Structure formats: structure tokens, C-alpha cells
Amino acid sequence: MTQIGLFDLKKKAAVVAVILEKPLETSKKAAKKGADILEIRLDLLGIRDLERAAEIIREIKSEAGLPVIATNRSRAEGGNWEGAEEDRTELLTGLLKYPFSLEEGPDAVDIELSASREERDKVIKAAKDHGKTVIVSSHYFSKTPSPREMKTILAEMFLVRADIAKLAVMPQSMEDVLNLLRVTLEFRNAGKSICTIAMGKPGKHTRVVAPLYGSVLTYASVESSTAAAPGQLPVDDVKKIMEMLK
């Protein structure tokens, strides 16, 4: 069983609202719009201090009442972190080890497959030691790897102990989109928890369609003007269309 907090991803896919500004206000707004989970983008919020990060997550969990994914995205993978790689991953590790009460801390962490092996393994070990869900992610902003390559990437994520393997690609054609969905279905049929996203205009519909093929998460913006990735749709629109399709 794969869960983030109390949300059981084996029962249905979750809509994850990306929080990248005014964290407490935006998190409460996302909850009202129907988000299932919140992704706290520490890099986009400009948070570098562990105590500040812990305070914000504690407040969000209390006020919004939703599970939280802690993410501190590297620039190489589309993030906005400025500084040493060790400091970036140490902030995540620190949050996972922080002495929160049972209800206060992050429920999951997202770490890139491309992170240095040593730093990535530290984050994953801390998450496993503290009972947190591990999302291992990879983002391709200029292409879609071949089906064979996508399968290899996802398989490698599970080898490094991902609970959820997340792959975001930029399709150059509708064939690329179909290839991603075929790979998604194959992993779903193998009992694996994955998240797949085709970014940009050609893949916009995958934000609501990929869950039908087995993607356990889909990411959405709180406002249409604050998308964190190309083609991201607002939370309430995603929820509405997914309800229509189920």
C-alpha cells in the first residue's frame, strides 16, 4: 500500500497542489479548492533555514489539514535553489529528522534521481527511517526519452528505494504522449506506484488523463497564473474533470 499521510494512493490518484508563494494563505486556498496533498516548494519559496521550513510546514499542516510533500528542487531539474548541493539536500534531511509531533511534519519527500548518489541516499535513508514516503523524480524539459529509456529510468528509481517514481517529460509529438501513457500503464499493471506527466501544450491533457493509466499523482496550480511547470492546470479544474472521467 502506498500512502502519503492518510491518503491511500491505491484507492485513487491524488491532486497535488504546488505551493510556491504565500505558503500558509495559498495552502488554505488549495484545500478549499479540493487539493488532496500539498507540495511545499522550498526552493521557490526561498526558504533556506531549517527552523523556518519546520515552522511553515507545522503551520500548514495545522491550518490546511492536508498531507505535505517537502520538495527542494535543484536548478538542473527546473528548480530555483541557489547554493551548494549538500545544503539543498541537508534541508530535506533536516526536516525528515526534525522533532515534530506525529501530525506536524512532512509526510513525503521528493528527491531527484540526478542528485549525487551520496546526498540522495542520505535523504532516502532519513525518510525510510522516519516512516515517510519517498518520491524519486526526474524531469526532461526539452524532450521525451524513448519508451525503453523511460522504463529504465523508472526502474532505476525503484532500485534506489523509491515508493513512488515520478517522471515528467516534454513531448514533441502526440506519439511521445502515447508512449508515456503506455509506459505508465505497463508499470501500473506490474503493481508499481508511479507518477507520469507530459508537460507543455501537447501533454496538457495528461494532467487529468494519466491517472486513468495508473499515475498515482497529478500536480496542479492553485491559481492559473502561478503554474510551476508548463501545462499545469488549476486544482479545481483538474478535480472537476477527473470526477467527470472516473
For the record, the C-alpha cell of 244 comes out as 467527470
For the record, the C-alpha cell of 7 comes out as 491518503
Q: In the prediction, which pLDDT does 227 show?
A: 67
Q: Could you give the angle at which helices 147-159 and 174-189 cross, rounded to 10 degrees?
A: 40
Q: Domains in the chain, start-ordered, CATH in brackets?
A: 3-235 (3.20.20.70)
Q: What is the pTM of this model?
A: 0.96
Q: In the prediction, which pLDDT does 1 show?
A: 59
Residue 205 falls in the annotated catalytic set: no
Tell me which of 33, 139, 192, 239 is the catalytic residue: 139
Q: In the prediction, which pLDDT does 232 show?
A: 87
- Taking CA atoms, 195 is separated from 47, 51, 99, 180, 182, in Å, by 26, 30, 30, 11, 13
One digit per residue, the tens of pLDDT, for the chain of length 246 reads: 599 999 999 999 999 999 999 999 999 999 999 999 999 999 999 999 999 999 999 999 999 999 999 999 999 999 999 889 999 999 999 999 999 998 899 999 999 999 999 999 999 999 999 999 999 999 999 999 999 999 999 999 999 999 999 999 999 999 999 999 999 999 999 999 999 999 999 999 999 999 999 999 999 999 876 766 777 899 999 999 999 997
| Residue 174: count of CB within 10 angstroms of its CB | 11
For the record, the C-alpha cell of 42 comes out as 522550498
For the record, the C-alpha cell of 156 comes out as 532505476
Residue 194's closest CA among 203, 185, 207?
185
What do you get for the CA distance between the two ends of the chain, in Å? 21
Q: In the prediction, which pLDDT does 119 show?
A: 96
Q: In the prediction, which pLDDT does 85 show?
A: 92
Q: In the prediction, which pLDDT does 16 show?
A: 98
Q: In the prediction, which pLDDT does 225 show?
A: 67
Residue 11 falls in the annotated catalytic set: no
Amino acid identity at 21: E
Place of cell 492553485: 222
Residue 137's closest CA among 174, 173, 172, 169?
169
CA–CA separation, 151 vs 153, rounded Å?
5
Place of cell 515552522: 55
Q: In the prediction, which pLDDT does 181 show?
A: 98
Tell me which of 33, 132, 166, 239 is the catalytic residue: 166
DSSP secondary-structure letter at 77? Answer: G
| Residue 47 main-chain phi, psi, to 5 deg | -95, 120
For the record, the C-alpha cell of 197 comes out as 506527466
Do 68 and 106 form a contact (C-beta atoms < 8 A)? yes
